[in-house]
Amino acid sequence: MSFCLISSDCHAGADGASYRSYVDPPYRERFDEYLQLASMMGKKQGAEELEGAEASLWDMGTRVKYLDAERVVAEVIFPQPGGPSGPPFYMAGHSYDVADQELTAAGTRAYNRWLADFVSSAPEPARHLGVAQITQYHDVDAAVAEVRWAREAGLTGGILLRSQPEGDLPGFNDLRYEPLWAVCEELDMPIHTHGGEVTLNGGLAESFMRPGGPAIFFTEVTWFGHRPLWYLLWSGVLDRHPNLKLVFTEQFADWVPDVLWRMDSIHERFGAFLEPKLELRPSEYWYRQCFVGSSLMSRRETDRRHEIGVENIMWGTDFPHDEGTFPESNRKLHEALDGLPEDELALILGGNAARVYGIDLDRLAPVAADLTIDDDFFAGGDDDR
């Protein structure tokens, strides 16, 4: 058997100044002001030790070289999470100016436009599945229009949802967001959350600057990424939209069995009294419609794969960040996955992602030809690793 690697978690973003022409003119002055600050706060943007790793965020030639080196056939692209290459008007994990949601939306549009150009500049655009950032929760019609635009523009990876709306907007169980879920189902655009986002509502950003703040952040930030699961599930979104897909990326996967157990218990005990009523048990929606984009994958998660769902786990590299497996993804495959049955490996390494994102593997056959991993790559369990 041979394996086709698809990374469910990669990042891209412009060399900061290049966003300017993508920002609508009324917001360019504020962009200049924003960029100056973002550049000062800008952290390292790619694996430090590798020449050009940072440039692979915006330079397609470098990017393809590294994807090839790691034998990654296709990738799902998320925004760089901050610094000058992050989406404009987004800083320290939340909106630069929370009170000005039109400004945030202008940054979102600029990032999405840049990303569409970046993907279409690739030798094989079908290899790069861009995920459009959506922040227009104050104007759901605008959010829906942005999803339609993104799909048209070739961003076929789906959308990135904030973990909860900012400001005084209601949570995602409010019915006002229904058109957003509907258009994502209609256009087969998976909805993602991505680990690392700081919502101001939860008190996380505020705690960060106080003693222990960064460790508190690391301990709890992923939970905020999980939260839309139960907001959408219990409010009936997965029931009403059986073809909608939710993907939880770079926020670990070990939490899934406990959350499913808890939700199934609640359903068993209180299901008859809940509104809306759900046809299925929560875990049944999970296995049908929910997925993890599991970069930073550990043995701990591999060991729980049957409870998480072998068809629900998508391997990822977090390229070009060095907290992921890049640039040692092939070696780290062994650590996390050696000894698994071949059919499970095939699903986790790329089969699930191909299905979730509708990746055209026939079209990618010329790319895959040189990159496919042979069946002797993985040991039988008690190997020489």
**In 160-292, which residue ranges form alpha helices assigned H by DSSP?**
178-186, 204-208, 213-234, 237-240, 256-270, 282-289
Q: How far apart are CA 385 and CA 372, in angstroms?
A: 20
Q: Which of 29, 258, 343, 375 binds a copy of itself (CB under 8 A)?
A: 258
138 lines the binding site for a copy of itself (CB under 8 A): no
**Nearer CB in complex with a copy of itself: 196/350:** 196
The answer to whether 29 and 94 are in contact (CB under 8 A) is no
203 binds a copy of itself, rule: CB under 8 A: yes
Q: Which of residues 103-122 bind a copy of itself (CB under 8 A)?
A: none
- Tell me: does residue 43 bind a copy of itself (CB under 8 A): no
Which of residues 219, 375, 379, 385 is near a copy of itself by CB under 8 A? Answer: 219
For a copy of itself, which is the closer residue by CB, 238 or 354?
A: 238
Q: Is 309 left (phi over 0), alpha (psi -120 to 50) or beta?
A: left
Question: How many residues in the chain?
Answer: 385
Site for a copy of itself in 148-167 (CB under 8 A): 164
Residues 372 and 3 sit within 8 Å (Cβ to Cβ) = yes
Q: Which of 25, 48, 99, 210 binds a copy of itself (CB under 8 A)?
A: 210
Task: Could you list the beta-strand ranges (E) of 114-208.
Answer: 128-133, 158-160, 191-194
The helix/strand/coil state of 58 is: coil
Of the pair 24, 264, the CB lying nearest a copy of itself is at 264
Q: Candidates 48, 51, 275, 384: give the one binding a copy of itself (CB under 8 A).
A: 275
Q: Distance between CA 197 and CA 165 in Å, rounded?
A: 12
Residues 6 or more apart whose CB falls under 8 angstroms from that of 29 comprise: none
CB 120, min distance to a copy of itself, A: 38
**For the stretch 215-246, what's the b/e string if a residue is b when 16 or more beta carbons lie within 10 angstroms of its beta carbon?**
eebeeebbebbbbbbbbbbbbbbbbebeebbb
Single out the residue of 44, 65, 299, 300 in contact with a copy of itself (rule: CB under 8 A).
Answer: 300
Q: Give the C-alpha separation, 374 to 3, whole Å.
A: 6
Looking at the Cβ atoms of 156 and 199, the one nearer to a copy of itself is: 199
The interface mask with a copy of itself, positions 326-345, x = CB under 8 A, is --------------------
Indicate whether 30 belongs to the interface with a copy of itself (CB under 8 A): no
Residue 212 binds a copy of itself (CB under 8 A): yes
Largest CA distance in the chain: 62
Residue 214 vs 242, nearer CB to a copy of itself:
214
CB of 266 to a copy of itself, least distance (A): 5
Nearest-5° Cα angle at 310, 309 to 312: 60
Q: Is 213 in the site for a copy of itself (CB under 8 A)?
A: yes
Buried b (16+ CB within 10 A) or exposed e, 250-271: bbbbbbbeebbeebbeebeeee
Our finding on whether 295 is near a copy of itself (CB under 8 A) is no
Q: How far is the CB of 42 from a copy of itself (least distance, A)?
A: 19
Binding residues for a copy of itself (CB under 8 A): 164, 170-171, 173-175, 201-203, 206-207, 210-216, 218-220, 223, 227, 230-231, 233-236, 254-255, 258-259, 261-263, 266-267, 270, 273-276, 300
